[in-house]
Amino acid sequence: MALTPYPASDFPTTPTAIVTGAASPRGIGRATAHRLAKDGWAVAVIDLDQAASEGVAAEVADRHGVPTLGLGVDISDEKAVGEAVSRIESELPQIVGLVNNAGVSSPVPFLEVTSEEWKRVIDINVNGTFYVTRAVAPIMVEHSLGRIVNIASASAQRGGGVYGRAAYSGSKAALMGIAKTLARELGPYGITANTVSPGSIDTDIMGGRLTDERKEFLLKELPVGRVGTVDDVAGVINFLLGREGGYLTGVTYDVNGGSHIA
């Protein structure tokens, strides 16, 4: 495959974005699927539950009038991932975007983490991201155009957080390193790779921990004066995947309301 020194400037009329972990009712993935579709992207929804994935895909198609596909996939299963990406490539327009959003949390302190728990988190958050990206990257290389965004977490930068401790924080830190490596190695093929690192966002993954009392505590250390929403994160992802994001790569965007400076 020949190298191209500069990213391709022209997107297809209707590019396709794959969003993993997009079936959660109040999740970042679902909000991202809608935000991308609003800007004319075809969207492939990947999540563990087939019916839920199909439901979100149908919802996005009905609301925005774009081609969609919903697939139930365990991203820790490399063979299943490969089959899913092949189907997306054959049934939707050219794949341009990939949002590695799927993941699991783990509130277990380091001294209590079992080997099984550690492997569970790494297998999904890190290995799963690798499997999906490894299946998609050659397609992007073929077209000399691609946008990859890994969803990390502020807990990776802070050494834990509201709901994520050792295994979760470690896995999300790995996603930052992977994105920088992809940016360096895939850049010559017209592919960018970045990370979005959300802080405390009001999503289902918070596992009920974002109570009114917890929100009040968080507001005291957030310069913006409010807890983040899934739309706050989706907007940044949409920008990085879009036409205007072609000169941004290897970057981590902290979507945290200023918690790092509080």
Report the distance separating Cα 184 and Cα 135, nearest Å.
18
Percent of the chain with pLDDT over 70: 85
Write down the pLDDT at residue 200. 76
Per-residue pLDDT, 207: 47
Please give the pLDDT value at position 5: 46
Averaged pLDDT, 224-229 = 76
Beta bridge partners of 260: none
Distance, in Å, from the CA atom of 104 to the CA atom of 121, rounded to the nearest integer, reads 6
Q: Report the distance separating Cα 72 and Cα 57, nearest Å.
A: 11
pLDDT at site 159: 72
DSSP for 63-113, written as a single string = HH---EEEEE--TT-HHHHHHHHHHHHHHSS-EEEEEE---------GGG-
Q: Is residue 79 packed enough to be buried (19+ CB in 10 Å), middle (13-18) or exposed (0-12)?
A: exposed
Q: Is 163 a catalytic residue?
A: no
Buried b (16+ CB within 10 A) or exposed e, 44-61: bbbbbeeebbbbbbebbb
Which pair of tokens denotes residue 123?
A: 């297998």
- Better pLDDT: 42 or 208: 42
Highest mean pLDDT among 54-68, 162-176, 210-224: 54-68
Residue the block writes with tokens 């850049």 = 187
Q: Is the model's pLDDT at 228 over the cut of 90? A: no
pLDDT score for 163: 59
Please give the pLDDT value at position 215. Answer: 62
pLDDT for residue 219 is more than 70: no
What is the structure's pLDDT at 191?
Answer: 97
Active-site residue (options: 131, 168, 189, 253): 168
What's the confidence (pLDDT) of residue 241?
A: 98
Render pLDDT for 120-141 as a digit per residue (tens, 0 to 9): 999 999 999 999 999 999 999 9
* Mean predicted confidence (pLDDT) in 23-30: 94
Q: What is the DSSP letter of 21?
A: S
Q: Is 34 exposed, middle or buried (0-12, 13-18, 19+ CB in 10 A)?
A: buried
pLDDT at 6: 45
What digits encode the pLDDT tens for the residues 62-118?
A: 999 999 999 999 999 999 999 999 999 999 999 999 999 999 999 899 999 999 999
Q: How confident is the model at residue 8 (pLDDT cuts 50, 70, 90)?
A: very low
Is 151 within 8 Å of 199 (Cβ atoms)?
no
Mean pLDDT score, 40-64? 98
Cα-based distances in Å from 93 to 82, 111, 128: 17, 47, 23
Q: How confident is the model at residue 165 (pLDDT cuts 50, 70, 90)?
A: confident
